[in-house]
Amino acid sequence: MPTPELKVFRRSELELVTDGCLWRYSKLYREGVDDASDLSLIGIGGHAVMYAYLTRLVAKGIPQDIEEAEAAFVEGIAAVQTPPRLIPEVKHVWDYFVPYYTLPVDRFVAAESKEAHGQVGFTCDLVLAHPDRNELEICDWKWGWNPPLTEDALKALFQARVYARYGMETWPGFTTYRFTLVAARFNKFVSVVFSRADLDSVDLEVAAAVATIRRCEQTGQWPAVPGPACQWCELECPAVSQVGDLPKRLLEARQAQAVASWVLAGEAQLRSAKKALKAYVAGHGPVEVNGVVFDNRPAVSRAYPLIEVVNTIHQRNAAGAFDDQPFTIPASNLKKPFKAFPELEQALAGVATEKTTYRFASKRAGDEDTDEGDD
Ligand code: SF4
């Protein structure tokens, strides 16, 4: 008996399942709901323009050319019929990104290459081969406001791992496989190299996503589960669409009970409102209210290894630098080492300093009144 042909799923639809929102999957891929947001239309425009540009550069054998970039812009926009209201935005990102971009023409393998392996279909925006290090590189353009991923986040990204895993099958024989994500709006390239061992579980993840779809088809249940896709999702959604009214001012003392009730619900609501706003900003750009701008900004934190700090203070005889401000470590930072080595806590008990302050907070009745803070 011939083996029945397996359905090929797009990488993006399987990614939606791995993100967890089966409601969105069902709406888009089973019911055919059109979810073409401005963000996705801008992305489609950007991809088409970039594809036209790469094709022109390869045809001429040149790494960059501003006239070709302009011609590619017109060609790409026309090819996908970007709505006129969005053309200035695509042009804005294009003009920012393209002067910095150079194509290593001698390393070009393919652009907009549609591939399929097993039950996964995927399109590679650009494929390069680097003979000097026997490496295949798959590049993917992003045109949205989402801040560039860290290397760790990119290494965990379903798209990156699927592309690298099945890139190995499509273009075998390379020593290493690299996935590069290009955040055009930030002119930032983030790149990771995968070994075969890194990608051991990809086949299983794909199989699990396909099995999840099959199971939902059997049960008819497609739950809405908030996750990464909420950033750009504009569907009517049972999970996140019910936004309650927040009180505009605090009530009087006699209504404290009512206010406390609201605080409990409000704190949870504020958390989810901030999460939703953060996701909206990542997908659509900064939001300004009365001169206050909400945006995802880089935050740099710096930490020093404790042992090095102590050794350096001793080496430099700099203990006096802390005379006015004794150098202490919050007890909360020692929770893990104390748990692993309880004798440490006993040994340090004699030098611990303790102070009690009071702060406004809520606790479940019956819980301890004191809290071990960071001071
Ligand atoms: S908003 Fe989030 S939870 Fe709701 S359908 Fe979209 S992705 Fe799913």
Please tell me if the CB atom of residue 235 comes closer than 6 angstroms to any atom of ligand 1: yes
* Rounded Cα gap, residues 333 and 337, in angstroms: 8
Please tell me if the CB atom of residue 27 comes closer than 6 angstroms to any atom of ligand 1: no
Number of domains in the chain: 2
- Per residue in 89-114, pLDDT (tens digit) is 999 999 999 999 999 999 999 999 99
Q: What is the mean pLDDT of residues 41-49?
A: 95
Q: Whose CA is nearest to atom 4 of ligand 1?
A: 237
Ranges 5-14, 36-45, 67-76, 322-331, most confident: 67-76
Q: Is the dihedral of CA 226, 227, 230, 233 positive or negative?
A: negative
Query: With 70 as the cut, is the pLDDT of residue 370 above it?
Result: no
Please tell me if the CB atom of residue 120 comes closer than 6 angstroms to any atom of ligand 1: no
Q: Please provide the average confidence, as pLDDT, over all residues in the chain.
A: 85
The pick from 13, 19, 22, 24 for probing ligand 1's pocket by mutation, whose C-beta has the most ligand atoms within 8 angstroms, reads 24
Determine the distance separating the centroid of ligand 1 and the alpha carbon of 217, expressed in angstroms.
19
Please tell me if the CB atom of residue 73 comes closer than 6 angstroms to any atom of ligand 1: no
Final residue in a domain of this structure, among 206, 223, 240: 223
Final residue in a domain of this structure, among 59, 83, 103: 103
Q: Name the more confident of 26 and 239.
A: 26
| Domain-embedded: residue 136 | yes
The pick from 25, 233, 284 for probing ligand 1's pocket by mutation, whose C-beta has the most ligand atoms within 8 angstroms, reads 233
* Integer angstrom CA distances of residue 366 from 20, 298, 358, 369: 37, 41, 18, 8
Query: With 80 as the cut, is the pLDDT of residue 17 above it?
Result: yes
Indicate whether 145 and 219 sit together in one domain: yes
Categorize the per-residue pLDDT at 258 as very low, low, confident or very high, splitting at 50, 70 and 90. Answer: low
Whole-number percent of the chain with pLDDT over 90: 46
Indicate whether 112 and 20 sit together in one domain: yes
CA triple 13-14-15, angle to 5 deg:
90
Final residue in a domain of this structure, among 188, 223, 258: 223
Please tell me if the CB atom of residue 239 comes closer than 6 angstroms to any atom of ligand 1: yes
Determine the distance separating the centroid of ligand 1 and the alpha carbon of 102, expressed in angstroms.
38
Name the residue range of residue 51's domain. 36-103
